[in-house]
Chain A
Amino acid sequence: MTARPLAVVGASAAGLAAAETARRSGWTGPLTLIGDEPHLPYDRPPLSKQLLHGTWESERLLLRTADQLAPLDLDLRLGTRATALDAATRTLTLDDGARLACAGIVVATGVTARTLPGADALDGVLTLRTLDDAVALRARLAGAGHRLAVVGNGVLGCEAAAVARELGHEVTLIGRDAFPMARAVGPEVGMLLAEEHRTRGVHLLTGDVADFLTGPVPGTTGGVRLTDGTEVPADTVLLAIGSDPAVDWLRGEPALDTTDGLRCDAYCAAAPGIYAAGDVARWDHPLHGVPLRFEHRMNATEQGMAAARNLLAELAAETAPGPDTPERRPFAPVPYFWSDQYGIKLQAYGLTADADRTETTVLDRAARSAVALYGRDGAATGVLAAGLPPRQVRALRAVVATPQPWEEARARARAVLAPA
Protein backbone atom coordinates (compact mmCIF):
# COMPACT_ATOMS: atom_id res chain seq x y z
CA MET A 1 0.00 0.00 0.00
CA THR A 2 1.38 3.40 -0.94
CA ALA A 3 1.64 5.98 1.83
CA ARG A 4 -1.34 8.24 2.20
CA PRO A 5 -0.69 11.87 1.31
CA LEU A 6 -1.09 14.92 3.40
CA ALA A 7 -3.45 17.07 1.35
CA VAL A 8 -3.94 20.82 1.41
CA VAL A 9 -7.06 22.18 -0.29
CA GLY A 10 -6.69 25.76 -1.50
CA ALA A 11 -3.44 26.84 -3.15
CA SER A 12 -3.06 30.36 -1.86
CA ALA A 13 -1.40 32.07 1.12
CA ALA A 14 -2.69 29.75 3.85
CA GLY A 15 -2.41 26.57 1.79
CA LEU A 16 1.13 27.31 0.67
CA ALA A 17 2.21 28.13 4.23
CA ALA A 18 0.71 24.84 5.41
CA ALA A 19 2.48 22.85 2.69
CA GLU A 20 5.85 24.52 3.29
CA THR A 21 5.56 24.11 7.03
CA ALA A 22 4.66 20.43 6.70
CA ARG A 23 7.86 19.85 4.75
CA ARG A 24 9.97 21.98 7.07
CA SER A 25 8.54 20.11 10.06
CA GLY A 26 9.62 16.77 8.65
CA TRP A 27 6.70 15.41 6.58
CA THR A 28 8.50 13.21 4.05
CA GLY A 29 5.42 11.46 2.64
CA PRO A 30 3.42 12.58 -0.40
CA LEU A 31 2.19 16.16 -0.18
CA THR A 32 -0.74 17.18 -2.38
CA LEU A 33 -1.72 20.81 -2.94
CA ILE A 34 -5.08 21.25 -4.65
CA GLY A 35 -6.26 24.60 -6.02
CA ASP A 36 -9.11 25.43 -8.35
CA GLU A 37 -7.44 28.49 -9.87
CA PRO A 38 -5.16 27.81 -12.85
CA HIS A 39 -2.33 29.94 -11.41
CA LEU A 40 0.58 29.10 -9.15
CA PRO A 41 -0.08 30.47 -5.63
CA TYR A 42 -0.11 34.27 -5.76
CA ASP A 43 -0.60 37.12 -3.34
CA ARG A 44 -3.92 38.96 -3.13
CA PRO A 45 -3.24 42.28 -1.32
CA PRO A 46 -1.39 43.75 -4.35
CA LEU A 47 -4.45 43.05 -6.54
CA SER A 48 -6.19 46.17 -5.26
CA LYS A 49 -2.94 48.12 -5.02
CA GLN A 50 0.10 47.68 -7.29
CA LEU A 51 -1.53 45.39 -9.87
CA LEU A 52 -4.63 47.55 -10.33
CA HIS A 53 -2.43 50.59 -10.47
CA GLY A 54 -0.28 49.07 -13.18
CA THR A 55 2.99 49.39 -11.25
CA TRP A 56 3.32 45.59 -10.92
CA GLU A 57 2.62 42.88 -13.46
CA SER A 58 1.03 39.52 -12.61
CA GLU A 59 4.32 37.58 -12.35
CA ARG A 60 5.37 39.80 -9.48
CA LEU A 61 2.45 38.48 -7.42
CA LEU A 62 3.60 34.87 -7.36
CA LEU A 63 4.23 33.78 -3.78
CA ARG A 64 6.89 31.35 -5.04
CA THR A 65 8.41 30.74 -8.44
CA ALA A 66 8.27 27.24 -9.94
CA ASP A 67 11.95 26.89 -8.99
CA GLN A 68 11.24 27.80 -5.39
CA LEU A 69 8.39 25.27 -5.25
CA ALA A 70 10.46 22.42 -6.69
CA PRO A 71 12.21 21.40 -3.42
CA LEU A 72 8.80 20.90 -1.77
CA ASP A 73 8.22 17.96 -4.11
CA LEU A 74 4.52 18.76 -4.31
CA ASP A 75 1.84 16.82 -6.06
CA LEU A 76 0.44 20.13 -7.30
CA ARG A 77 -3.03 19.93 -8.77
CA LEU A 78 -4.01 23.31 -10.13
CA GLY A 79 -7.29 23.92 -11.91
CA THR A 80 -8.72 21.19 -9.71
CA ARG A 81 -11.60 21.59 -7.29
CA ALA A 82 -12.30 19.53 -4.22
CA THR A 83 -16.00 18.73 -4.25
CA ALA A 84 -16.43 16.69 -1.06
CA LEU A 85 -14.67 15.58 2.10
CA ASP A 86 -15.45 12.46 4.10
CA ALA A 87 -14.16 13.19 7.58
CA ALA A 88 -14.22 9.67 9.02
CA THR A 89 -11.99 8.26 6.26
CA ARG A 90 -10.19 11.57 5.52
CA THR A 91 -11.07 11.17 1.86
CA LEU A 92 -11.35 13.98 -0.67
CA THR A 93 -13.35 13.87 -3.87
CA LEU A 94 -12.02 16.03 -6.68
CA ASP A 95 -13.87 17.41 -9.69
CA ASP A 96 -11.79 15.27 -12.06
CA GLY A 97 -13.38 12.24 -10.43
CA ALA A 98 -10.34 11.31 -8.33
CA ARG A 99 -10.80 10.13 -4.76
CA LEU A 100 -7.91 10.78 -2.45
CA ALA A 101 -7.62 8.91 0.86
CA CYS A 102 -5.37 11.10 2.98
CA ALA A 103 -3.33 10.86 6.16
CA GLY A 104 -4.53 14.34 7.04
CA ILE A 105 -6.15 17.35 5.38
CA VAL A 106 -5.74 21.11 5.73
CA VAL A 107 -8.70 23.09 4.42
CA ALA A 108 -7.55 26.50 3.15
CA THR A 109 -10.20 27.40 0.60
CA GLY A 110 -10.56 31.05 1.62
CA VAL A 111 -13.60 33.09 0.72
CA THR A 112 -15.41 34.08 -2.45
CA ALA A 113 -16.68 37.52 -3.37
CA ARG A 114 -20.35 38.22 -2.82
CA THR A 115 -22.36 39.49 -5.72
CA LEU A 116 -25.84 40.90 -6.36
CA PRO A 117 -28.75 39.46 -8.32
CA GLY A 118 -28.57 40.50 -11.95
CA ALA A 119 -24.83 41.20 -11.88
CA ASP A 120 -23.90 38.12 -13.89
CA ALA A 121 -26.10 39.12 -16.78
CA LEU A 122 -24.41 42.50 -17.26
CA ASP A 123 -21.08 43.23 -18.84
CA GLY A 124 -19.13 45.69 -16.70
CA VAL A 125 -20.25 44.55 -13.25
CA LEU A 126 -17.22 43.04 -11.54
CA THR A 127 -15.94 41.67 -8.26
CA LEU A 128 -12.33 41.70 -7.04
CA ARG A 129 -10.99 38.58 -5.40
CA THR A 130 -8.82 36.75 -7.90
CA LEU A 131 -5.97 37.64 -10.23
CA ASP A 132 -8.31 37.20 -13.18
CA ASP A 133 -10.79 39.61 -11.55
CA ALA A 134 -8.06 42.21 -11.03
CA VAL A 135 -6.73 41.87 -14.58
CA ALA A 136 -10.28 42.31 -15.92
CA LEU A 137 -10.88 45.40 -13.80
CA ARG A 138 -7.53 46.87 -14.79
CA ALA A 139 -8.32 46.34 -18.46
CA ARG A 140 -11.57 48.29 -18.06
CA LEU A 141 -9.72 51.11 -16.34
CA ALA A 142 -7.18 51.43 -19.15
CA GLY A 143 -7.38 54.79 -20.88
CA ALA A 144 -8.77 57.94 -19.34
CA GLY A 145 -12.04 59.40 -18.10
CA HIS A 146 -13.76 56.20 -17.10
CA ARG A 147 -16.68 56.34 -14.64
CA LEU A 148 -16.40 53.76 -11.87
CA ALA A 149 -19.03 53.08 -9.22
CA VAL A 150 -17.70 51.12 -6.26
CA VAL A 151 -20.41 49.44 -4.24
CA GLY A 152 -19.25 48.79 -0.69
CA ASN A 153 -17.00 51.09 1.33
CA GLY A 154 -15.12 48.45 3.28
CA VAL A 155 -11.38 48.04 2.93
CA LEU A 156 -11.51 46.53 -0.56
CA GLY A 157 -13.84 49.18 -1.98
CA CYS A 158 -11.76 51.96 -0.43
CA GLU A 159 -8.50 50.67 -1.88
CA ALA A 160 -9.97 50.20 -5.35
CA ALA A 161 -11.55 53.66 -5.25
CA ALA A 162 -8.21 55.19 -4.26
CA VAL A 163 -6.34 53.53 -7.10
CA ALA A 164 -8.99 54.41 -9.67
CA ARG A 165 -8.82 58.05 -8.56
CA GLU A 166 -5.06 58.02 -8.80
CA LEU A 167 -5.48 56.77 -12.36
CA GLY A 168 -7.65 59.82 -13.03
CA HIS A 169 -11.08 58.21 -13.28
CA GLU A 170 -14.37 59.54 -12.00
CA VAL A 171 -15.13 57.48 -8.90
CA THR A 172 -18.22 57.14 -6.73
CA LEU A 173 -17.88 55.14 -3.52
CA ILE A 174 -21.21 53.88 -2.22
CA GLY A 175 -21.60 52.38 1.24
CA ARG A 176 -24.28 51.48 3.74
CA ASP A 177 -22.22 53.00 6.52
CA ALA A 178 -21.80 56.75 6.44
CA PHE A 179 -18.03 56.46 6.83
CA PRO A 180 -15.60 54.25 4.94
CA MET A 181 -14.46 51.14 6.81
CA ALA A 182 -16.57 52.19 9.81
CA ARG A 183 -17.54 48.63 10.64
CA ALA A 184 -13.90 47.56 10.85
CA VAL A 185 -12.28 50.61 12.43
CA GLY A 186 -15.03 52.81 13.87
CA PRO A 187 -16.59 56.11 12.73
CA GLU A 188 -13.73 58.47 13.74
CA VAL A 189 -11.06 56.75 11.65
CA GLY A 190 -13.75 56.32 8.99
CA MET A 191 -14.34 60.06 9.01
CA LEU A 192 -10.63 60.70 8.49
CA LEU A 193 -10.67 58.32 5.52
CA ALA A 194 -13.79 60.01 4.17
CA GLU A 195 -11.97 63.36 4.26
CA GLU A 196 -9.03 61.94 2.36
CA HIS A 197 -11.20 60.29 -0.31
CA ARG A 198 -13.18 63.52 -0.72
CA THR A 199 -10.04 65.64 -0.95
CA ARG A 200 -8.80 63.33 -3.66
CA GLY A 201 -12.03 63.81 -5.56
CA VAL A 202 -14.02 60.65 -4.84
CA HIS A 203 -17.80 61.13 -4.61
CA LEU A 204 -19.01 59.50 -1.41
CA LEU A 205 -22.60 58.30 -1.18
CA THR A 206 -24.43 56.58 1.64
CA GLY A 207 -27.03 54.10 0.53
CA ASP A 208 -27.98 50.68 -0.67
CA VAL A 209 -28.10 49.45 -4.25
CA ALA A 210 -31.59 48.60 -5.49
CA ASP A 211 -30.70 47.53 -9.02
CA PHE A 212 -28.43 48.05 -11.99
CA LEU A 213 -28.96 50.60 -14.72
CA THR A 214 -28.45 49.36 -18.24
CA GLY A 215 -26.02 51.02 -20.55
CA PRO A 216 -26.48 52.21 -24.12
CA VAL A 217 -25.41 48.80 -25.43
CA PRO A 218 -27.80 45.98 -24.40
CA GLY A 219 -26.28 43.65 -21.82
CA THR A 220 -23.88 46.27 -20.48
CA THR A 221 -24.13 48.18 -17.24
CA GLY A 222 -25.00 51.83 -17.06
CA GLY A 223 -24.40 52.17 -13.33
CA VAL A 224 -26.57 51.56 -10.29
CA ARG A 225 -29.78 52.85 -8.75
CA LEU A 226 -29.94 53.21 -4.97
CA THR A 227 -32.98 52.35 -2.87
CA ASP A 228 -33.70 56.08 -2.38
CA GLY A 229 -33.91 56.48 -6.14
CA THR A 230 -30.50 58.11 -6.65
CA GLU A 231 -28.97 57.07 -9.94
CA VAL A 232 -25.21 56.69 -10.24
CA PRO A 233 -24.26 56.48 -13.89
CA ALA A 234 -21.09 54.47 -14.48
CA ASP A 235 -19.26 52.51 -17.16
CA THR A 236 -18.03 49.96 -14.65
CA VAL A 237 -19.51 48.81 -11.36
CA LEU A 238 -17.24 47.14 -8.84
CA LEU A 239 -19.06 45.11 -6.21
CA ALA A 240 -17.00 45.13 -3.02
CA ILE A 241 -19.74 43.95 -0.68
CA GLY A 242 -17.90 41.34 1.31
CA SER A 243 -17.31 37.68 0.90
CA ASP A 244 -18.54 34.26 1.94
CA PRO A 245 -16.35 31.42 3.23
CA ALA A 246 -15.74 28.78 0.54
CA VAL A 247 -17.37 25.91 2.45
CA ASP A 248 -20.10 24.82 0.02
CA TRP A 249 -18.03 21.77 -0.93
CA LEU A 250 -18.01 20.66 2.73
CA ARG A 251 -21.74 20.93 3.35
CA GLY A 252 -22.39 17.25 2.67
CA GLU A 253 -20.27 16.23 5.68
CA PRO A 254 -22.40 16.39 8.84
CA ALA A 255 -19.35 16.00 11.10
CA LEU A 256 -18.21 19.51 10.10
CA ASP A 257 -19.80 22.78 11.23
CA THR A 258 -19.75 25.14 8.25
CA THR A 259 -21.75 28.03 9.68
CA ASP A 260 -19.76 31.10 8.59
CA GLY A 261 -16.52 29.26 7.87
CA LEU A 262 -15.20 25.88 8.93
CA ARG A 263 -15.49 25.70 12.71
CA CYS A 264 -12.32 24.59 14.48
CA ASP A 265 -11.10 24.24 18.04
CA ALA A 266 -8.20 26.21 19.51
CA TYR A 267 -5.74 23.96 17.62
CA CYS A 268 -7.39 24.74 14.26
CA ALA A 269 -8.79 21.20 14.15
CA ALA A 270 -12.25 20.73 12.65
CA ALA A 271 -12.29 16.93 13.16
CA PRO A 272 -9.61 14.29 13.79
CA GLY A 273 -7.00 14.71 11.05
CA ILE A 274 -8.87 17.65 9.49
CA TYR A 275 -7.55 21.18 10.08
CA ALA A 276 -8.36 24.58 8.63
CA ALA A 277 -6.46 27.82 8.10
CA GLY A 278 -6.83 31.29 6.64
CA ASP A 279 -9.93 33.21 5.63
CA VAL A 280 -12.10 30.07 5.76
CA ALA A 281 -11.26 29.05 9.33
CA ARG A 282 -13.32 30.00 12.36
CA TRP A 283 -11.49 28.94 15.45
CA ASP A 284 -11.46 29.44 19.22
CA HIS A 285 -8.82 32.05 19.90
CA PRO A 286 -7.64 31.10 23.38
CA LEU A 287 -7.25 34.72 24.52
CA HIS A 288 -10.48 36.16 23.22
CA GLY A 289 -12.95 33.51 24.27
CA VAL A 290 -15.11 33.79 21.14
CA PRO A 291 -14.77 31.96 17.84
CA LEU A 292 -13.01 34.26 15.37
CA ARG A 293 -12.48 34.29 11.64
CA PHE A 294 -10.17 36.80 9.96
CA GLU A 295 -9.79 37.78 6.34
CA HIS A 296 -6.27 39.09 6.82
CA ARG A 297 -3.15 38.23 4.93
CA MET A 298 -0.92 37.74 7.97
CA ASN A 299 -3.39 35.39 9.59
CA ALA A 300 -3.43 33.20 6.48
CA THR A 301 0.29 32.50 6.79
CA GLU A 302 0.41 32.21 10.56
CA GLN A 303 -2.59 29.92 10.72
CA GLY A 304 -1.41 27.84 7.77
CA MET A 305 1.82 27.23 9.65
CA ALA A 306 0.05 26.50 12.94
CA ALA A 307 -2.49 24.14 11.37
CA ALA A 308 0.23 22.13 9.60
CA ARG A 309 2.31 21.83 12.77
CA ASN A 310 -0.67 20.71 14.82
CA LEU A 311 -1.80 18.24 12.18
CA LEU A 312 1.69 16.68 12.08
CA ALA A 313 1.76 16.53 15.88
CA GLU A 314 -1.60 14.75 15.85
CA LEU A 315 -0.45 12.28 13.18
CA ALA A 316 2.75 11.59 15.11
CA ALA A 317 0.77 10.91 18.28
CA GLU A 318 -1.56 8.60 16.31
CA THR A 319 1.10 6.52 14.63
CA ALA A 320 4.12 6.47 16.93
CA PRO A 321 3.48 8.15 20.27
CA GLY A 322 6.64 8.64 22.25
CA PRO A 323 8.49 11.07 24.46
CA ASP A 324 9.65 13.06 21.42
CA THR A 325 6.21 13.46 19.90
CA PRO A 326 5.62 17.22 19.44
CA GLU A 327 2.68 18.71 21.32
CA ARG A 328 -0.16 20.46 19.57
CA ARG A 329 -0.31 24.14 20.47
CA PRO A 330 -3.34 26.43 20.62
CA PHE A 331 -3.24 29.05 17.88
CA ALA A 332 -3.10 32.41 19.68
CA PRO A 333 -1.82 35.10 17.30
CA VAL A 334 -2.02 38.86 17.69
CA PRO A 335 -4.24 39.57 14.66
CA TYR A 336 -2.84 42.11 12.19
CA PHE A 337 -4.03 43.82 9.08
CA TRP A 338 -2.96 46.75 6.99
CA SER A 339 -4.49 48.80 4.23
CA ASP A 340 -2.90 51.25 1.81
CA GLN A 341 -5.01 54.11 0.46
CA TYR A 342 -3.24 56.93 -1.40
CA GLY A 343 -0.25 57.64 0.86
CA ILE A 344 -2.00 56.44 4.01
CA LYS A 345 -1.05 53.16 5.59
CA LEU A 346 -3.45 51.86 8.22
CA GLN A 347 -2.13 49.15 10.51
CA ALA A 348 -4.21 47.41 13.13
CA TYR A 349 -3.50 44.80 15.77
CA GLY A 350 -5.93 42.76 17.80
CA LEU A 351 -9.68 43.11 17.48
CA THR A 352 -10.98 46.39 16.10
CA ALA A 353 -14.40 45.34 14.76
CA ASP A 354 -17.46 45.08 17.02
CA ALA A 355 -15.91 47.25 19.71
CA ASP A 356 -18.26 48.67 22.34
CA ARG A 357 -15.75 51.40 23.10
CA THR A 358 -13.35 53.31 20.87
CA GLU A 359 -11.01 56.16 21.64
CA THR A 360 -9.50 57.88 18.63
CA THR A 361 -6.72 60.43 18.87
CA VAL A 362 -6.11 62.39 15.71
CA LEU A 363 -2.47 63.44 15.85
CA ASP A 364 -2.38 65.47 12.66
CA ARG A 365 -5.61 65.86 10.73
CA ALA A 366 -4.04 67.08 7.49
CA ALA A 367 -1.42 64.33 7.51
CA ARG A 368 -4.15 61.80 8.44
CA SER A 369 -2.13 60.46 11.31
CA ALA A 370 -4.14 58.95 14.12
CA VAL A 371 -4.26 56.26 16.77
CA ALA A 372 -7.36 54.43 17.93
CA LEU A 373 -7.88 52.06 20.82
CA TYR A 374 -10.74 49.54 20.69
CA GLY A 375 -12.34 47.73 23.59
CA ARG A 376 -15.01 45.33 24.60
CA ASP A 377 -16.47 44.48 28.01
CA GLY A 378 -14.00 46.75 29.82
CA ALA A 379 -10.88 45.34 28.15
CA ALA A 380 -8.79 46.89 25.40
CA THR A 381 -8.69 44.43 22.52
CA GLY A 382 -7.30 46.29 19.53
CA VAL A 383 -5.34 49.26 18.27
CA LEU A 384 -5.04 51.06 14.95
CA ALA A 385 -2.27 53.37 13.80
CA ALA A 386 -2.07 55.61 10.76
CA GLY A 387 1.01 57.60 9.87
CA LEU A 388 3.11 56.51 12.85
CA PRO A 389 6.77 55.44 12.84
CA PRO A 390 7.23 51.65 12.98
CA ARG A 391 8.76 51.64 16.46
CA GLN A 392 5.63 53.22 17.90
CA VAL A 393 3.41 50.87 15.92
CA ARG A 394 5.24 47.85 17.37
CA ALA A 395 4.97 49.32 20.87
CA LEU A 396 1.22 49.76 20.39
CA ARG A 397 0.97 46.15 19.31
CA ALA A 398 2.43 45.15 22.66
CA VAL A 399 -0.32 47.13 24.42
CA VAL A 400 -3.08 44.91 22.99
CA ALA A 401 -1.17 41.64 22.49
CA THR A 402 -3.25 40.24 25.33
CA PRO A 403 -6.53 41.93 26.28
CA GLN A 404 -6.06 44.06 29.38
CA PRO A 405 -8.12 46.52 31.43
CA TRP A 406 -9.11 49.54 29.37
CA GLU A 407 -7.59 52.21 31.64
CA GLU A 408 -4.25 50.42 31.83
CA ALA A 409 -4.08 49.97 28.07
CA ARG A 410 -5.07 53.58 27.56
CA ALA A 411 -2.26 54.78 29.84
CA ARG A 412 0.26 52.57 28.08
CA ALA A 413 -0.87 53.75 24.65
CA ARG A 414 -0.48 57.36 25.80
CA ALA A 415 3.01 56.64 27.06
CA VAL A 416 3.91 55.23 23.64
CA LEU A 417 2.72 58.43 21.96
CA ALA A 418 4.30 60.84 24.46
CA PRO A 419 7.31 62.63 22.98
CA ALA A 420 10.55 61.10 24.25
Chain B
Amino acid sequence: MKITVAADACCGAGQCVLTAPEVFDQRDEDGTVVLLDGTPPAERHDAVREAAALCPAGVIELHA
Protein backbone atom coordinates (compact mmCIF):
# COMPACT_ATOMS: atom_id res chain seq x y z
CA MET B 1 0.00 0.00 0.00
CA LYS B 2 1.16 3.50 -0.90
CA ILE B 3 -0.54 6.59 0.52
CA THR B 4 -0.67 10.09 -0.91
CA VAL B 5 -2.44 13.09 0.61
CA ALA B 6 -3.71 16.24 -1.08
CA ALA B 7 -2.82 18.45 1.87
CA ASP B 8 -3.99 21.65 0.16
CA ALA B 9 -7.59 20.42 0.29
CA CYS B 10 -7.38 19.18 3.90
CA CYS B 11 -10.01 20.66 6.24
CA GLY B 12 -8.13 19.78 9.41
CA ALA B 13 -10.75 17.53 10.99
CA GLY B 14 -8.00 15.28 12.37
CA GLN B 15 -10.04 12.11 11.95
CA CYS B 16 -7.06 10.40 10.28
CA VAL B 17 -4.86 11.02 13.33
CA LEU B 18 -7.52 9.62 15.64
CA THR B 19 -7.89 6.53 13.43
CA ALA B 20 -4.26 5.81 12.42
CA PRO B 21 -1.95 7.87 14.67
CA GLU B 22 1.20 6.07 13.52
CA VAL B 23 0.55 7.07 9.92
CA PHE B 24 -0.94 10.58 10.08
CA ASP B 25 -0.33 13.75 12.05
CA GLN B 26 -1.48 17.36 11.82
CA ARG B 27 0.55 20.53 11.42
CA ASP B 28 0.52 22.63 14.57
CA GLU B 29 -0.16 25.90 12.74
CA ASP B 30 -3.32 25.00 10.82
CA GLY B 31 -4.18 21.36 11.48
CA THR B 32 -3.34 20.30 7.93
CA VAL B 33 -2.55 16.61 7.49
CA VAL B 34 1.05 15.42 7.68
CA LEU B 35 1.87 11.98 6.28
CA LEU B 36 4.23 10.21 8.69
CA ASP B 37 4.46 6.92 6.84
CA GLY B 38 3.57 6.70 3.14
CA THR B 39 4.11 2.93 2.96
CA PRO B 40 2.78 1.57 6.25
CA PRO B 41 3.17 -2.09 7.26
CA ALA B 42 0.32 -4.54 6.63
CA GLU B 43 -1.03 -4.46 10.19
CA ARG B 44 -1.92 -0.76 9.75
CA HIS B 45 -3.73 -1.14 6.41
CA ASP B 46 -7.20 -1.58 7.91
CA ALA B 47 -6.84 1.56 10.02
CA VAL B 48 -5.52 3.50 7.02
CA ARG B 49 -8.43 2.34 4.86
CA GLU B 50 -10.84 3.44 7.59
CA ALA B 51 -9.09 6.83 7.84
CA ALA B 52 -9.28 7.32 4.07
CA ALA B 53 -12.98 6.44 4.05
CA LEU B 54 -13.75 8.75 6.99
CA CYS B 55 -11.80 11.79 5.77
CA PRO B 56 -14.45 14.50 5.26
CA ALA B 57 -12.38 16.21 2.58
CA GLY B 58 -11.44 12.99 0.79
CA VAL B 59 -7.76 13.93 0.62
CA ILE B 60 -6.24 10.54 1.49
CA GLU B 61 -5.57 8.42 -1.58
CA LEU B 62 -4.54 4.79 -1.41
CA HIS B 63 -2.63 3.06 -4.20
CA ALA B 64 -2.25 -0.69 -4.38
A186 CB to nearest B CB, Å: 22
Q: Are B9 and A60 in contact (CB under 8 A)?
A: yes
Residues of A within 8 A of B17 (CB): 390, 394
Whose C-beta in chain A lies nearest to the C-beta of B28?
A: A389
Contact call B31/A45, Cβ cutoff below 8 A: no
Q: Are B53 and A390 in contact (CB under 8 A)?
A: no
A376 to B14 alpha-carbon distance, docked (Å): 26
Q: Are A393 and B31 in contact (CB under 8 A)?
A: yes
Return the CB mask of A324-339 against B: 1 if under 8 Å, else 0: 0000000000001010
Task: Please measure, in the bound complex, the distance between the C-alpha atom of A21 and the C-alpha atom of B30, giving whole angstroms.
Answer: 30
Whether, in the assembled complex, B58 has its beta carbon less than 8 Å from a beta carbon of chain A, the answer is yes
Closest chain-A Cβ to B5's Cβ sits at a distance in Å of 15
Task: Tell me if B7 counts as interface (CB < 8 A to partner A).
Answer: no
Within 8 Å by CB of B31, from A301, A305, A345, lies A345
A61 CA / B61 CA spacing, docked (Å): 15
Q: A257: CB under 8 A from chain B?
A: no
Q: Which of chain A's residues have a CB closer than 8 A to the CB of B39? A: none
In the bound complex, what is the Cα–Cα distance between A297 and B55 (angstroms)? 10
Q: Name B's interface SS.
A: loop
A52-67 residues with Cβ-Cβ distance < 8 A to B are: 60, 63-64
Interface residues on A, range: 20 to 34
Min CB distance A348 to B, Å, is: 11
Question: What are the interface flags for A232-275 relative to B under an 8 Å C-beta threshold, 1 for contact and 0 otherwise?
Answer: 00000000000000000000000000000000000000000000
Taking each of A13, A298, A390, which has the highest tally of chain B beta carbons within 10 Å of its own beta carbon?
A390
A275-310 to B contact mask, C-beta < 8 Å, 1/0: 000000000000000000000011001100100000
Q: For A301, give its contact among B12, B49, B54 (CB under 8 Å).
A: B54
Q: Which residues of B contact A302 (CB under 8 A)?
A: 54
With most chain A CB atoms within 10 A of its CB, the pick from B29, B49, B54 is B54
Complex contact A63–B14 (CB within 8 A): no
Question: A21 vs B50: C-alpha distance in the bound complex, in angstroms?
Answer: 10
Instruction: Please indicate the chain B residues that have their CB under 8 angstroms from the CB of A347 in the complex.
Output: 12-13
The reply to whether A338 and B13 contact each other, CB–CB distance below 8 Å, is yes
Q: Mark A381-392, 1 if CB is under 8 A from B, else 0.
A: 000000001110
Find chain A residues with CB under 8 A from B27 CB: 390
Q: How far is the CA of A403 from the CA of B9 in the complex (A)?
A: 32
Other-chain contact of B57, A20, A43, A345, A394 (Cβ < 8 Å): A43
The answer to whether A298 and B56 have CB atoms under 8 Å apart is: yes
Within 8 A of B (CB), among A23-79: 24, 43, 45, 60, 63-64
Q: Which 7 A-B pairs have the closest CB atoms?
A: A390-B26, A390-B31, A297-B56, A389-B28, A298-B56, A390-B14, A63-B58
30 A–B contacts, CB within 8 A, in A order: A17-B53, A20-B53, A21-B53, A24-B53, A45-B56, A60-B9, A64-B58, A297-B56, A298-B15, A298-B54, A298-B56, A301-B53, A301-B56, A302-B54, A305-B53, A336-B13, A338-B11, A338-B12, A340-B11, A345-B12, A345-B31, A389-B28, A389-B29, A389-B31, A390-B28, A390-B31, A391-B26, A394-B14, A394-B17, A394-B18
A residues adjacent to B (C-beta < 8 A): 13, 17, 20-21, 24, 43, 45, 60, 63-64, 297-298, 301-302, 305, 336, 338, 340, 345, 347, 389-391, 393-394, 397
